[in-house]
Structure 1
Amino acid sequence: MVLWFCCRHPKTPWFVKALAVCVVAYALSPIDLIPDFIPVLGYLDDLVLLPLGILLVVRLMPKEALRECRVQADEWEKLQAPRPISRIAAGLIVMIWLMALLCSWWLLAHYFAHESLLQ
């Protein structure tokens, strides 16, 4: 939630906002870039990518703004309000998967077409 408030804080530099938006959108997205059912790799994004993204945003964030965002996040938690869901991030991740599938199909189709020409 701290990063959510960092995205909206006026003292946050634009590049930190952009990074924070990406990290928050991915964290709140109901769809993972690497699905959890894939053994080992499925949890890799949750164990490595998200913590690294959070750490990078926290380190790049101005200290005073980060402090204010932490206070806002504490107040949010005390209210026990539901966490937001990013449907835009879900759509982007679905599009990334579709592009990866299309690229894979295209590469395989060209590979097998090239192999059949050689024989």
Structure 2
Amino acid sequence: MGIFKKIINDFKIKVKNLKKEIGALSLACKRRDVPWYTKLVVVLVVGYALSPIDLIPDFIPVLGYLDDLILVPIGVVFAIRLIPKDIMNECREQSEDIFKEGKPRNWVAGGIIIFICIGIFTYVITRFL
């Protein structure tokens, strides 16, 4: 049972770090010294991470959580690599307490994610039916 607890604790630490990185990304997106194309990537990644809408719904066994376990971390890593290290480090320091009061809400990013999902759904329906 000890190894199972260690795996769970390691997973909790990784999730906490991922939340901190998402908070830092949202702060970096508000800065003027971050290029517009980086901001676009960050808005999409943070919007998807915080959005209740997924590409693959969570009620589908295994695949439902696969996008959360794979797509979000890959997107976060990609967005972090686009931001200069000094800016990202400053934003990490500022993001320590960003999730203490629950998830931050960004209606613009949520709207973009919903728009993308509707577009994909419409394409699939018109293409294959």
Shorter chain as denominator, the TM-score bin is: 0.7 to 0.9
1:29 aligns with 2:75: no
1:60 aligns with 2:60: no
The partner residue of 1:48 within 47, 55, 70 is: 70
Tell me the SS of whatever aligns to 1:74. coil
TM score, norm. by length of structure 1:
0.73
Structure 1 counterpart of 2:84, one-letter code? P
Does the CA-based 8 Å contact 1:33-1:93 persist in structure 2?
A: no
The partner residue of 2:41 within 12, 16, 19 is: 19
Return 5+ residue gaps in structure 1 as ranges.
110-119
Does the CA-based 8 Å contact 2:44-2:112 persist in structure 1?
A: no
Cα distance in 2 for residues equivalent to 1:60 and 1:102: 31
Inter-CA distance 106–58: structure 2 relative to 1 (3 Å threshold) = closer
Cα distance in 2 for residues equivalent to 1:52 and 1:71: 22
| CA deviation vs aligned residue, 1:46-74 (integer Å, no higher than 9, x gap) | 11111111111212211111111011102
1:87 aligns with 2:107: yes
Give aligned pairs, total. Answer: 107
| CA deviation vs aligned residue, 1:7-56 (integer Å, no higher than 9, x gap) | 11222222221111111111111211221112222112111111111111
Cα distance in 1 for residues equivalent to 2:105 and 2:92: 20
TM score, norm. by length of structure 2:
0.68
Question: Which structure: larger Rg?
Answer: 1
Does the CA-based 8 Å contact 1:2-1:69 persist in structure 2?
A: yes
Deviation at 1:75, TM superposition (A): 4.7
1:73-84 superposed matches below 5 A:
73-76=95-98, 80-84=100-104
